[in-house]
Each structure stands twice: as C-alpha cells, then as structure tokens.
A and B are shown apart, each in its own frame.
Chain A
Amino acid sequence: SQKIEQNSEALNIQEGKTATLTCNYTNYSPAYLQWYRQDPGRGPVFLLLIRENEKEKRKERLKVTFDTTLKQSLFHITASQPADSATYLCALDMLNSGYALNFGKGTSLLVTP
C-alpha cells in the first residue's frame, strides 16, 4: 500500500537557521507532491506543489526538492522565524481517487528566538 513517512520527532531550530524537513514515500509513483502547513486546531494551508518532472521549486524563503529515484522530497525554510513554527505536512496524489490527497503525519517545527 502507499506509504508516506515524515520525521516523527519534532524539529527544534534557532531563528535564522535553515530548517530541513524530509518526506519519503514507498509503493508510489506520484505525479506531484505537495507541502502544507497546519497550525494547531486549524485546517492545512497549501504552500508548494512540485511535479514529477521538476527537481526543485522555490517560493520566497521556501524550497522544495523532489527526487523520484530516491522517492524523497526535502522541504527547506531558510532564515527561519518563530512564526514558521507549525506542523508541515507532505501530501501525494492518491491512486485512482481523482485529486484526493494522501497525507503524511507531518513534522512539527519549532523555531526559537
């Protein structure tokens, strides 16, 4: 079955550093991969989408890479700020379910001043 794994342990980093989050998947050949941000008690917010034929995508301080050989995506936040503290979810398209998404459990990021 399709499996998505994200670092289960929280990531604590200092303000100004780069945060790197990992998403690995198995039994999958996704057409695209997405990253969402979720704050406690709130719905996810879309951040970035990267397609299978793209290696890297950037948006302001965010950068996503997609390695279909390693079956891995890395999500980077440069010059991190305390306001970046949240849970970050990796999501891939579900097989045979239209545009429905299969989500990882997410990685909690805490940026301290």
Chain B
Amino acid sequence: GAVVSQHPSRVICKSGTSVKIECRSLDFQATTMFWYRQFPKQSLMLMATSNEGSKATYEQGVEKDKFLINHASLTLSTLTVTSAHPEDSSFYICSATQLAGGTQETQYFGPGTRLLVL
C-alpha cells in the first residue's frame, strides 16, 4: 500500500518551454503533497507544500510564478515548471502523507522525475 507515482519519469525539453509533472497517490488519499528538488550529491530540498483545494505554500527562494502547483484532488498534484532554463535541470520528487490509516509524519515518495533543460 501507500504507492505514489510520478509522470513522466524523465523529460528533456528546450529552454523556454514549460514542463508539467504529475504526482498521484494510487491507493490512498493524500492529506498533503510535497514537492522536493534534488541536485546531484545534494539533499532533497523542499520546494512547496500542497493541500487539496488551497494554494500551495512555497519555501523561501522558490518562485511561485515559475513553479506552478495545482492540487486538484486528494490523489493528484501537478508541478509545472514554466519557461524552463538549464539551471532548472534537476531531479524533482513528490511525496504524500496519508489522510487515514497511517501516521501523518511519514511521507511516501514518488520515483522522481529527471528534468533536463537544453
């Protein structure tokens, strides 16, 4: 149980284009979803916290107009990287906490999306 999927698993795009990444909780309803970014040999850095039906809360230094988050349902959150640039190339990982049946402190992570901007 508690499976989180992400799509796509990897994407290559041209500079200036937008990329959408989907995060789904497959077998549970997620109270909250989180978006992290991980550069090579670095720790996961929280970008934003997303609750269904409300605006995402962004961490300091993360541009909300560049990284658009939509949390349409209790099982789906999307991250859109707008006007992507090479410095946005990274590993984007989402996670979710369970609404019921588990401790809300535990996060279930998706497999990640590798973004390469040329």
Binding site for B on A (CB under 8 A): 4, 32, 34, 36, 41-46, 49, 89, 93-94, 97-106
State the main secondary structure of chain B at its contact with A. Answer: strand
Most B CB contacts (10 A, CB to CB) among A43, A46, A100, A102 go to: A43
Count of A-B residue pairs with CB < 8 Å: 62
User: Are A94 and B46 interface neighbours, CB within 8 A?
Assistant: yes
CA of A45 to CA of B111 in the docked complex: distance in angstroms?
Answer: 9
Q: Are A43 and B114 in contact (CB under 8 A)?
A: no
B109 within 8 A of A: yes
List residues of chain A with CB within 8 A of the CB of B93.
43-44
Smallest CB gap from B51: residue in A: A98
Report B's interface with A, CB cutoff 8 A: 4, 6, 32, 34, 36, 41-46, 49, 57, 59, 91, 93, 95, 97, 103-112, 114
Residues of A within 8 Å of B4, CB to CB, are 43
Please tell me which one of the listed residues B42, B97, B109 contacts residue A99 in the complex, with CB atoms under 8 A apart.
B97
Q: Quick check: B109 and A34 within 8 Å, CB to CB? A: no
**22 A-B contact pairs sorted by A residue (CB < 8 Å):** A36-B109, A41-B112, A41-B114, A42-B111, A43-B93, A43-B112, A44-B44, A44-B93, A46-B109, A49-B103, A89-B43, A93-B105, A97-B46, A97-B59, A98-B49, A99-B97, A99-B104, A100-B46, A103-B36, A103-B43, A104-B43, A105-B41
